[in-house]
A and B are shown apart, each in its own frame.
Chain A
């Protein structure tokens, strides 16, 4: 077992996925509490065209520029969601389905255009759909760490604002700060987290890492700061054990294993809390 820990590549993947999962868990709590968890799902699907366009322009794999492309595509998706939501009678659920299919379809279309050029790096970009943790390199880990520092800063400096923003938007306006700015800060930080996570977990399942930890943590505590910390811990546990398990067992996809462990933690948490709830009654 210790042999594995001496391998530099394995350590990179382990640290990268664990730190990513923790920050995704922490930032995801906000959207879970605001009942907007599926926005993360729509936006993470929507990052695909951004990544593919960057790839088509550069013809090589550059994690940092992929991140930029993903964030820009995510912002466009969010703007489309806002446009539909503010101007039509269509509900948020349907809006998300429309945005998701439009952007992901665009991504698949562009991918099929770019695959005509038969570039060797082509395979690398397809990994973004289902995720491939093994390809994480030093640069990716650095970006993940920077992202988690950003998330940490958002919580440290804006803790009170976030709390008011989640639980009482009216109070937020009354106490003199614009909810719009909070929206943007939280959107951007979630987007960055999603974008750095895509490589390891994949476009389709990355949103699970934002929702699962938050839902699990909410089963154990009602205090906001405890929920955020627990959520990060749950995320980290599933990231850590997921990477370990997938490197021991042959042919186990890392991203999906991490998400699967997370989902199990969530289901067990809900069951336990349900039992406790029944007993109290």
Chain B
């Protein structure tokens, strides 16, 4: 049973992360926030019609609601009366509040539970089973395998189109690739993946799995293939680590995996040279030190043998620096054999002279 849960988790992770990487590239991350919440309305309405939580109509209608969400958001943006961020912020509460009203009012004590919406029920997935080819599988395992296969096939077939439309919309138009069509296909995929995963891991982890690993990968690489590989690596290891921790301490799997994904992102951000605050701070300090030491050397070079300018007691007045700061640099420079003290005056060594003429480009 444990293996089944882990397998379902990994497959869900892979399918979410795969579609998510294109959303990150297209800068459409918050649409997943909307979709992962609004599909609930589709599930509820389908449930009212069929009275069966395992009916395929649930899946179809929920996917449709995800697409309707995207369509409505775009429609509202097109009126030019509302900006995109606000447009997402209107449609998602509209559907989600309606869902909560319907659940509380009509579906009380039924299987649809408000908490499941957020947390999913990964641990319970092996309980509902289906028999295929004489073997018994959990329903969630079958559905997550299917959605992963569909995702992989889609990305392999439309790899070129996805790449071009994600990076350069103008160019895609020129060579006759319809961005609208690719967008529609991608959104259908995102929506169906969200619906499948929603039940298993809950709305919040769906967003986390789709967006966070892809963002971590996006920080490191500029190549799409590499980005997808890294995304999968981050996503699967995040889920496994998260699951292990949650299992060991017996706490919320969904919560822990979201946190682990976030931590991986933050660590990557801090370690990666391009985006690291630590690195930037260190670089700034290093550059400042180098510049100040060069200034001292240039000063000595320019005033060679001038007792007033270079005297051990007076040099700090001429540079107009605090004594302490200067002494620290001089000590460092002496260690590096750039200058030496003689007759209470500072002099450049041959190495120092060579270095400074190079700096001054003489």
A positions within 8 Å CB-CB of B: 32, 35-38, 40-41, 80, 83-84, 87-91, 93-94, 96-98, 100-113, 116, 126, 129-130, 204-205, 207-208, 211-212, 214-215, 218-219, 249-253, 255-257, 259-260, 262-264, 266-267, 270, 273-274, 277
Q: What 0/1 pattern do residues 254 to 283 of B give for CB contact below 8 A with A?
A: 111111011101100100001111001000
Known A94-B215, A101-B212, A105-B259: A87·B276 in contact at CB below 8 Å: yes
- Known: A102-B212, A211-B86; 16 extra A-B contacts, CB below 8 A, are A89-B274, A93-B28, A97-B207, A102-B259, A102-B261, A102-B262, A102-B265, A105-B254, A109-B258, A204-B37, A208-B90, A219-B81, A251-B105, A252-B104, A259-B97, A277-B81
Contacting pair B251 A270 (CB below 8 A):
no
For A205, what are the chain B residues with a Cβ–Cβ distance below 8 Å?
Answer: 93, 96-97, 100
List residues of chain A with CB within 8 A of the CB of B269. 83-84, 87-88
Which residues 54-100 of B have a CB within 8 angstroms of A?
76, 79, 81-83, 85-86, 88-90, 92-94, 96-98, 100
Residues of A within 8 A of B98 (CB): 256, 260
- Across-interface contacts of B104 in A (CB, < 8 A): 251-253, 256
| CB-based A-B contact count at 8 angstroms | 208
On chain B, the residues within 8 Å of A91 by CB distance are: 27, 29
CA distance A117 to B330 in the complex (A): 61
Taking CB atoms, residues of chain A closer than 8 Å to B90 are 208, 211-212, 215, 263, 266-267
- Taking CB as reference atom, which chain A residue is nearest B212? A98
Q: CB distance A270 to B81 under 8 Å?
A: yes
- 23 pairs, A vs B, C-beta closer than 8 Å: A83-B269, A93-B27, A93-B29, A97-B211, A97-B212, A105-B205, A108-B119, A108-B255, A110-B255, A112-B251, A112-B252, A208-B89, A212-B90, A214-B86, A218-B82, A253-B100, A253-B104, A256-B100, A260-B101, A264-B94, A270-B79, A270-B81, A277-B79
Q: Residues of A contacting B96 with CB < 8 Å?
A: 204-205, 256, 259
Interface residues of B (CB under 8 A from A): 24, 27-30, 32-33, 37, 76, 79, 81-83, 85-86, 88-90, 92-94, 96-98, 100-101, 104-105, 108, 114-115, 118-119, 204-205, 207-208, 211-212, 215, 218-219, 249-252, 254-259, 261-263, 265-266, 269, 274-277, 280
Task: Report which of B211, B258, B266 forms a contact with A108, defined as CB distance below 8 A.
Answer: B258
Instruction: Give chain A nearest CB distance to B215 CB in angstroms.
Output: 5
The answer to whether B93 touches A212, judged by C-beta atoms less than 8 angstroms apart, is yes
> Quick one: closest B residue to A266, CB to CB?
B90
Give chain B residues whose Cβ lies under 8 Å from the Cβ of A110.
255
- Interchain CB contact under 8 A, A108 and B33: no
Interface centre among B98, B101, B277 (most CB of A within 10 A): B101
Please give, as numbers and ranges, the residues of chain A lying within 8 Å of B85 by CB-CB distance: 35-38, 93
Contacts of B212 in A (CB 8 A): 97-98, 101-102
Q: What CA separation (Å) do A263 and B266 show in the bound complex?
A: 35
Give, as a whole number of angstroms, the nearest-CB distance from A276 to chain B: 10
**Distance from B173 Cβ to chain A, minimum over Cβ atoms (Å):** 22
> Smallest distance from the beta carbon of B183 to chain A beta carbons, Å?
16
Partner of B33, one of A41, A116, A215, A264: A41
A111 x B252 contact (CB < 8 A): yes
- Report the separation of the CA atoms of residues A84 and B269 in the bound assembly, to the nearest whole angstrom: 8
Give Cα distance in the complex from A62 to B207, angstroms.
31
User: Would you call A105 and B208 a contact (CB within 8 A)?
Assistant: yes
Chain A residues, Cβ within 8 Å of B257: 105
Contact B93 A208 (CB under 8 A): yes
Complex contact A101–B261 (CB within 8 A) = yes
Ranked 9 nearest A-B pairs via Cβ: A105-B258, A102-B262, A208-B93, A109-B255, A108-B255, A263-B94, A112-B252, A101-B208, A211-B89
